[in-house]
Every structure is written in structure tokens, then in C-alpha cells.
Amino acid sequence: MIDTDYKNGWRYIVWVGGVDDYYKRYEDAKRDADEWKDKGYDDVIIEHLKKEIPLMTDKVDLKVINELENFKKEIEKQWMLNI
């Protein structure tokens, strides 16, 4: 969801209680947050949206992971034999 918001140009969310309002410029978000605070609301938060960096876990080759696990076990076995 945040990635879609970011792609649409939104960079800031002003939260008042659980209600959100989106902004493209910090100056606009700050002005709105200050207005809510001036009205007596104390639960006002400005959230800065950042572009999500996808984790590469979906592209990790499970075969490579298994090979590494097997290599680790083999090294541990050899180490135990040398003690």
C-alpha cells in the first residue's frame, strides 16, 4: 500500500487520531498538522513515506540455501572430528 501511495506522488501522511490525510509536500503536511494542533488535537503525527526497497527473498534460490546448509553441517562435522 505504501509503495502505491509513493508511486502516486504522496510523500507525507498527517494522522489525527486514526484518520489520515495525504500530502505531496512537507510544507502542506506541516501546515495541516499545525492547524489540527491549534484546534486542540494532541494526537497529530506526520508520517514520511519512503520508497520501499523490495527484499530479494522471493528470488533466492532454495537450492543454494540448501547447499550452504549442507556445507555448514559438513564443516561442523569436520571441526568436531578434529577436537
Separation CA 1–CA 11 (nearest Å):
13
pLDDT for 19 beyond 80: yes
Question: Could you tell me which residues come within 8 angstroms of residue 23 by beta carbon, excluding any fewer than 6 positions away?
Answer: 10, 11, 12, 13, 14, 29, 32
Q: What confidence category does residue 60 fall into, taking pLDDT thresholds of 50, 70 and 90?
A: low
Question: Could you tell me which residues come within 8 angstroms of residue 55 by beta carbon, excluding any fewer than 6 positions away?
Answer: none
- For the chain, give the mean pLDDT: 81
| pTM flag (> 0.75) | no
What was the pLDDT predicted at 52? Answer: 66
pLDDT for 41 beyond 90: yes
